[in-house]
């Protein structure tokens, strides 16, 4: 097959196979050219190595692979995080969890725990945005922790990494703030078989028949891992706000409420240990 010779040829080759905005992003990353050049100068020559890279990426994307895994990175809270199929791709709605956490980190030192850190996007962002906080992050997957550690090295966040299942990674310790974006999709949800989600680690997504098993487990164990007055913040599905608040209340939390993401959907519920 002959390779595209210009930006215009490249975008024409991608047309009908992947959305135009993704084709432009992949062409930018393959060629190093600016967004303006790619759209404004369709006749500009594309180097053969860039053309080969772009053509291979379009084939992978057309076969369903997420752009973030093809490029090996995704932006979160203004920084580029490396990602691999060992970790969930960071989502914009999770920035709400970060904002809600930052609003609860006191000016003085605070001990903060991120459960199920994956790429480390939440823990590293908190460490960089709240340098006075001591951040610990737990994941059950050694492969995910390797991705998170290399993100911390690259981006400069100071985080203590621990391997384990939820609080077992930090047994006997107490924190002022615990945050988590746990798996919360119902195990039979057809969403798991569609789009990018198909390529993501199932263990980071599915959580029992209603998607609430891990939220229940974390909320139930959190009182033993929080200092008095400490907060638990949990991301969840758009239709799980009522259930998440009920779980927090029955676990003994007060000041329980839910915050909405930029789409206006219930996304993060939280409560305070009396
Ligand atoms: N927001 C993700 C999705 O709907 C789920 C992430 C999660 O389970 N933590 O695909």
Task: Please classify residue 139 by burial: count the beta carbons closer than 10 Å to its beta carbon, then call 0-12 exposed, 13-18 middle and 19+ buried.
Answer: buried
Sorting pLDDT into bands at 50, 70 and 90, what band is 85? Answer: very high
| CATH number for region 85-272 | 3.40.50.150
- Asked whether residue 19 is marked as a ligand-binding residue, the answer is no
Please give the number of the atom of ligand 1 that sits closest to the Cα of 235: 9
What are the pLDDT digits (tens) for 28-80?
A: 999 999 999 999 999 999 999 999 999 999 999 999 999 999 999 999 999 99
Going from the Cα of 182 to the center of ligand 1, the distance in angstroms, rounded, reads: 8
What are the pLDDT digits (tens) for 214-257?
A: 999 999 999 999 999 999 999 999 999 999 999 999 999 999 99
Tell me how far apart the alpha carbons of residues 208 and 146 are, in angstroms, rounded to a whole number: 27
What's the whole-number mean pLDDT along residues 2-26? 95
Contact 87, 122 (CB under 8 A): no
Asked whether the predicted pLDDT for residue 1 surpasses 80, the reply is no
Going from the Cα of 261 to the center of ligand 1, the distance in angstroms, rounded, reads: 13
Asked whether the predicted pLDDT for residue 165 surpasses 90, the reply is yes
- Asked whether residue 190 is marked as a ligand-binding residue, the answer is no
What are the pLDDT digits (tens) for 29-40?
A: 999 999 999 999
Tell me how far apart the alpha carbons of residues 144 and 131 are, in angstroms, rounded to a whole number: 23
Ranges of beta strands (E only) in the chain are: 73-76, 79-82, 110-115, 133-139, 159-163, 175-180, 226-235, 254-260, 266-272
Residue nearest ligand 1's atom 2 by CA: 205
What is the SS3 assignment for 140?
coil
What are the pLDDT digits (tens) for 100-125?
A: 999 999 887 899 999 999 999 999 99
Q: State residue 107's pLDDT score.
A: 82
Tell me how far apart the alpha carbons of residues 2 and 15 are, in angstroms, rounded to a whole number: 16
Contact 81, 75 (CB under 8 A): yes
Contact 200, 89 (CB under 8 A): yes
- Asked whether residue 166 is marked as a ligand-binding residue, the answer is yes
Q: Which residues line ligand 1 (CB under 6 A)?
A: 91, 181, 183-185, 197, 205
Going from the Cα of 66 to the center of ligand 1, the distance in angstroms, rounded, reads: 14
Going from the Cα of 150 to the center of ligand 1, the distance in angstroms, rounded, reads: 23
Which residues 6+ apart lie within 8 Å of 4 measured at CB? 10, 12, 13, 46, 51, 54, 55
- Asked whether residue 120 is marked as a ligand-binding residue, the answer is yes
């Amino acid at each position: 097959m002959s390779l595209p010779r210009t930006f215009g040829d490249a975008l024409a080759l991608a047309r009908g196979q992947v959305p135009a905005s993704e084709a432009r992003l992949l062409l930018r990353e393959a060629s190093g050219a600016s967004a303006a050049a790619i759209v404004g100068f369709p006749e500009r020559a594309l180097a053969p190595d860039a053309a080969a890279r772009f053509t291979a990426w379009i084939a992978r994307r057309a076969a369903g692979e997420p752009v973030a895994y093809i490029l090996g990175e995704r932006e979160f809270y203004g920084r580029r995080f490396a990602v691999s199929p060992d970790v969930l791709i960071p989502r914009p709605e999770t920035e709400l969890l970060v904002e809600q956490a930052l609003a609860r980190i006191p000016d003085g030192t605070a001990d903060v725990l991120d459960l199920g850190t994956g790429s480390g996007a939440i823990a590293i962002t908190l460490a960089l945005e709240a340098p006075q906080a001591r951040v610990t992050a737990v994941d059950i997957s050694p492969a995910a922790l390797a991705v998170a550690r290399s993100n911390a090295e690259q981006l400069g966040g100071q985080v203590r990494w621990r391997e384990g299942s939820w609080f077992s990674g930090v047994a006997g310790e107490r924190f002022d703030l615990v945050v988590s974006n746990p798996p919360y999709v119902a195990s039979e949800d057809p969403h798991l078989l569609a789009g990018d989600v198909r390529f993501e680690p199932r263990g980071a997504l599915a959580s029992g028949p209603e998607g609430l098993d891990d939220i229940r487990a974390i909320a139930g164990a959190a009182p033993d891992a929080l200092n008095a007055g400490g907060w638990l913040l949990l991301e969840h599905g758009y239709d799980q706000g009522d259930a998440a608040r009920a779980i927090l209340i029955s676990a003994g939390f007060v000041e329980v409420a839910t915050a909405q993401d930029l789409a206006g959907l219930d996304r993060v519920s939280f409560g305070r240990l009396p």
